[in-house]
Amino acid sequence: MENSLPAPRHDWTVDEAVEVLERPLNDLLFEAQTLTRAVFPANMVEGAQLLSIKTGACPEDCAYCPQSAQYNTGLQPERLMETADIVAAAKDAKANGATRFCMGAAWRSPSDSQVDAVSEAVTEVRSLGLETCVTLGMLTETQAGRLADAGLDFYNHNLDTSPEFYGTVITTRTYDDRLDTLSNCRTAGLKLCAGGIVGMGESRRDRAGLLTQLAALDPHPESVPINLLVKVPGTPLANADELGGIELVRTIATARLMMPRSVVRLSAGREGMSEELHALCFQAGANSIFLGDRLLTTDNPGDDTDRHLLDSMGVALADSPIAASHSHT
């Protein structure tokens, strides 16, 4: 099976991605699951945990985000957490089965002193034996290097949607700004966690456009989170039309086929998903989830719910970070 794996492609067109998205669902699921098993351990998902280490008062206007200072969502801003408190949360996450600990701060672009403070926490968390990931907004190449020197494994910076739809969701940061930060992180030697959000009113072609942009990155992001919009009262997208679950499944399967060696994380929006929809997402190639009952500021199913779900499916929570186990030759 190893020799039959396709070489990673970075030249996908939007039309090609649309064609994959629109394949008969059973064919799409079969292809995605077959490829997942060729690259990753079968019936296994990675557990990560996400902590908001600095909450609210963000100057950006991302229409989905309750942390924007421009919207009244009832969220109370909080200062950057102390390193000791972050480490305590990381220890709890590891005890609950997480192998990666993700830290998020609601900044547009951090100052050098803020990056230094987060770097201290990264070093401490990594010493626990956890993979580390942070999302801090836009980074310079120097700041990315500082985080890499501290032992950071992944930097999360999502593209959110297609370039064409992007301006209807965000006006305070350009698409190129996001691509520049990803480039700075790659230059610093960091792995990338880059994905997007579905259910914001975008078209299927926009979802294809997002995946095309992600697949154009060379190498592909090691981690690709697919978030289902959480509609938070007070944000402009609070009343967005519901995205059908099958469309989410199609998006995950297409991400798997376009970026076969990436870990695809079923991220935000799981709180309202049925067990059956979860099962289809895993069948489509999702092989990572966030554990715990909170993400940054929104609800997550919680450890007991997730363990029941995984047990009912015969799926194991990986005891170490998963990665592509085959390389193309």
Please identify every residue annotated as catalytic. Answer: 58, 62, 65, 102, 133, 193, 265
- Give the CA distances from residue 221 to residues 258, 264, 329, in Å, rounded to whole numbers and listed in that order: 11, 10, 20
Distance CA 63, CA 171 (A): 9
- Judged by DSSP in three states, 288 sits in strand
Write phi, then psi, for 225 (nearest 5 degrees): -80, 130
* Contact call for residues 95 and 112 (beta carbons, < 8 A): no
Q: Where are the beta strands (DSSP E) in the chain?
A: 44-54, 100-105, 131-135, 154-156, 191-193, 196-198, 223-228, 263-266, 288-290, 316-317
Closest CA to 284 of 326, 248, 310, 324: 248
> DSSP string spanning 208-253?
HHHHHHHHHSSSPPSEEEEEEP---TTSTTTTPPPPPHHHHHHHHH
Residues 35-56 as b or e (16 or more Cβ within 10 Å = b): bbebbbeeebbbbbbbbbbbbb
Distance CA 55, CA 81 (A): 9
Q: Which residue has the tokens 């090691």?
A: 222
* Contact call for residues 157 and 144 (beta carbons, < 8 A): no
Residues 190-204 as b or e (16 or more Cβ within 10 Å = b): bbbbbbbbbbbebee
Q: Which residue has the tokens 């715990």?
A: 292
